Structure formats: C-alpha cells, structure tokens
Chains A and B, each alone.
Chain A
Amino acid sequence: MRRQKVLVLYLANSALDAPTVAWSVYDGAGEALRMAGDQDQPPYPTGLAALKDGWRLFQASQLNPHARGEEFDLAYLKYEFWFEQLVEVAS
C-alpha cells in the first residue's frame, strides 16, 4: 500500500531557496505522530533543500496584489509550499 507524507514549508520570500520560517509535517504512513510545537528547528533550511532530499513539490502559494487600503494589514504566512513523499507500507 502507498501512503502520503506531507511537508509544508513557509519560506521567508517567494523563492523556493529562501530560508524556512515555519513548517508542518503530516505522516500518512503513521510512523510518527507530529503535532504543534514538537520541533524548534526546521527540518530543512530552505525549500530547495527539501527538493534535494526527495520531497516532491505539488503546490505553492500565489503572489496576489495588495488590496488598496489594506496594504499594511498582516494575517497568515505568505509563502507556503506543499511537498509530498509517497511511501510503501505493509498491508
């Protein structure tokens, strides 16, 4: 059986080789239970480092223009990159 592992990296700008500022890991293979606050240092220093380690990029956040009057409002992290690995698990 194949299962998906997901890595989400939040980078310091829109370039994939920019530094990691936040991250999440979800393990569909069930090998590890990951949760909020479980790791204080990022698993990869950049998105490119994750690519080099075999993670496959499948989504990146868009760059949207800033709405007039809301140029200085901040909310969610801006540069979000989703990666996956497909792994075989025993059936």
Chain B
Amino acid sequence: MTLLTSVEMARFVARGFLRFDAAVPDDINAQFMAEAGAAPDAADGRRVMAVYAQTLAGSAIAEAPPGRPLADTYPADSALGRLLALPRVAGAFRSLLGEAPVFDHHFLHITFPPSYHEAGGGENVSQHTHQDSTIDPRLRFDVQLMYYPHEVTLEMGGTRFVPGTHLRKVSEVAIGRYQNIRGQQHMVCPAGTLLFLHHGLWHGGGVNRSDRTRYMFKIRAHASGSQVRQWDARDLNGGPAHRPIFFRKSLPEPDTVETILMASEPWFEQDTGRLEYVNRVKLWRYVTGDTDYDADYWMTRLENVGA
C-alpha cells in the first residue's frame, strides 16, 4: 500500500482534507456507476425525494450496519471492494486510522439537475454548510472518503468545503447561516477523484445547474486502535529546532511540517487564527505521539507556568 508522507499528514492535520485526482481507474468507476444504479428520469409530480428513495432501493450496493471491519464491508470483486484495495486508498486509510479501520456508514449522494426539481415542484438550491454527525469534542478523528465516480464540472455543483474548519466544534448545520466563506473550494474534478476528509470539515453539496445527474459516494470510518505514526514517518526528522518567528528576513522553507501547520486560511479571524495554530499543534502531538512538539512557540509559551 502507499502510505502517506509526513508532509501529506501535516496537510491533513492543518487543512482537514487530502485530495487525489483521478486516483480510481476508469474500469472501477464504470463498475461503480453500474452497481450504484441510475436515477429514474424526471416525471411530472414525482418529487426528488421519491426519486432518491427509488434509486437507493434499486441500487446493487448493499445496506451495511455500522461497527464491522471496513475491510469486510464490501465484496472483494465489487467496485467499492476494489476501490478500497487500491494501494493509494488502503494506504491513506491505514495512515489516518491505523490498523483495521471500522465502518461507520456510507451513502450515495445524488444531486439532481433542474428538470427534476421543476417536475417535482421543489426548489433547486445548494445544501446548507454543515459539519457531519453532531458536536464532537474528541481529538481522535474519523475519516470520510468522498468518491467522485464521474467527471464533475462547476455547473454540476460538486461538494463545497472550507479548508481548515475541521477543528471547530460546532453543532452540525448550526453553521448554515454562513452562505459563503473566503477560501471555500468547490469540487470540480475528473472521474475517479477521491477526497479524504477529517470528520469535522465544514462542507455542503452544491447546486446542480447542468443537465446531468451528479453522483458521489461517501464512506465514513473510524479507528479501532492507535492513530499514532501510522503513516510513512521516515521523513520526520526528530524534534525541530525552533525557527525564527515574527522578525524574519526570508520566507519560511516550503513543505516543512512547521510551515504547513502555521499556514493561515483566507477565512481566519485575526485573533482566533492563532488558536487554530494551537489546535493544529495539539492534533500533531496526537498523531505523532510527541507530547512536547511545538511550532513557532505557541504551546511552549502557554505551557510555561512555572514550577
């Protein structure tokens, strides 16, 4: 399997996602589309939720109860079984969740084009921004894999997400009030693209203004054991000497763990952005097992409380 590098792991800790474009071969994408099942055509008076229910009922993808090993969730010769066996996918799950990840749930997300809403009498709007599940104060994290089995254009309303929001402890769609956030990204991608998300990342489905139905499959899984140093940490070289802070005469070296963890997002507030750094350091301590780790002195300063 292809384990993540420390740089990739730091990016996940800092921004809450990893994206791999066209990581799934075309034959698996085609098999998935056949197994998922196509939504029936729009028809006058047929509401979108009814179309949804009919599509799920006719899908060859089986229901699966939570709590089973992820490795046992799908038949090995099914599209999803083959996808999970891809070295990149198996390696990412192993790196993020350790040995023997556990299946939580999956779902076939379908975003319908305008004709379905016109026929069913509903409004064609995007999904409110939200954080999945419910308030989750853990440092330990689950992973959500979003799989895009076909090309997604901007008009098709791919998943919208906001990098770096995963460490905020909010209550699901309580954040629906925020229509737009600086730095938000929209998934426009080739077929077979994968997005691995920290469970806390803020996201929502886009509005589909194209004439094609959009499909996305999500799998949530959690760790069964340790999440410490499960990636290829050979490029992690000991404890870093603290680099100069604030008064700097040159740009920091790119692609170091510290540079990645200390990079701001466009939506950061000026004061709480610093708390984001503190929380990233705490998460890096968790995944490395290095309880003394610090970047740019944020934790060292706070932990200097005297004897």
- Please say whether chains A and B are actual partners in one complex: yes
List the interface of chain A (C-beta within 8 A of B).
Answer: 8, 10-13, 18, 20-25, 33-40, 42, 72-79
What is the distance, in angstroms, from A48's C-beta to the closest C-beta of chain B? Answer: 16
Q: B177 and A74: CB pair below 8 A?
A: no
Question: In the complex the two chains form, is A37's CB within 8 Å of B269's CB?
Answer: no
Residue in chain B with minimal CB distance to A42: B182
Query: Of B168, B267, B271, B275, which contacts A13 at CB under 8 A?
Result: B271
B contact set with A: CB distance below 8 Å: 123, 125-129, 160, 167-170, 174-182, 184, 186, 204, 206-207, 266-272, 275-276, 278-279
Q: Are B179 and A21 in contact (CB under 8 A)?
A: no
**Nearest chain B residue, comparing its CB with the CB of A41:** B182
User: Would you call B125 and A35 a contact (CB within 8 A)?
Assistant: yes
State in angstroms the CA–CA spacing of A18 and B269 once bound together: 10
A40 contacts across to B, CB distance below 8 A: 180, 184
Whether A12 and B269, one on each chain, are in contact in the complex, defined by CB atoms closer than 8 angstroms, is yes
A21 B207 Cβ-Cβ under 8 A = no
Task: Check B169–A75 contact: CB distance below 8 A.
Answer: yes
Inter-chain CB contacts under 8 Å: number: 92
Interface centre among A13, A77, A78 (most CB of B within 10 A): A77
Q: By the criterion CB–CB under 8 Å, are B180 and A38 in contact? A: yes
Please give the distance in Å from B296's CB to the nearest CB on chain A: 15
Given A36-B180, A38-B126, A75:B267 Cβ within 8 A: no
Residue in A20, A35, A74 whose CB lies within 8 Å of B169: A74
Specify which of A21, A24, A33 is in contact with B177 (CB 8 Å cutoff). Answer: A24
CB distance from A47 to the nearest CB of B (A): 13
State whether B272 touches A74 (Cβ < 8 A): yes
Q: Which residues of A contact B270 (CB under 8 A)?
A: 12-13, 18
Q: How far is the CB of A66 from the nearest CB of chain B, in Å?
A: 10
Taking a contact as CB atoms closer than 8 A, the residue among A33, A42, A75, A76 that contacts B125 in the complex is A33
Contacts of A21 in B (CB 8 A): 181-182, 266-269
* Contact A76/B174 with A36-B126, A36-B128, A36-B129 known, Cβ cut-off 8 Å: yes
List 21 A–B pairs whose Cβ atoms lie within 8 Å, in order of A's numbering: A11-B269, A13-B269, A21-B268, A21-B269, A22-B180, A25-B179, A33-B125, A34-B179, A35-B126, A36-B127, A36-B128, A36-B160, A37-B184, A39-B180, A42-B182, A72-B279, A74-B167, A76-B175, A77-B178, A78-B271, A79-B269
Q: Which residues of A contact B207 (CB under 8 A)?
A: 35, 37-38
A72 to B184, CA, bound (A): 24
Contact for A24 among B169, B170, B179, B267, CB less than 8 A: B179
Evaluate contact between B266 and A75: CB separation under 8 angstroms. no
- Within 8 Å by CB of A74, from B125, B168, B179, B184, lies B168
User: A78–B186 Cα gap in the complex (Å)?
Assistant: 24
B271 to A36, Cβ gap below 8 A?
A: no
Q: Given the complex of chains A and B, what is the CA–CA distance between A8 and B175 in angstroms? A: 13
The answer to whether A75 and B179 have CB atoms under 8 Å apart is: no
- B181 near A22 with CB under 8 A, answer yes
Contact call B178/A10, Cβ cutoff below 8 A = yes
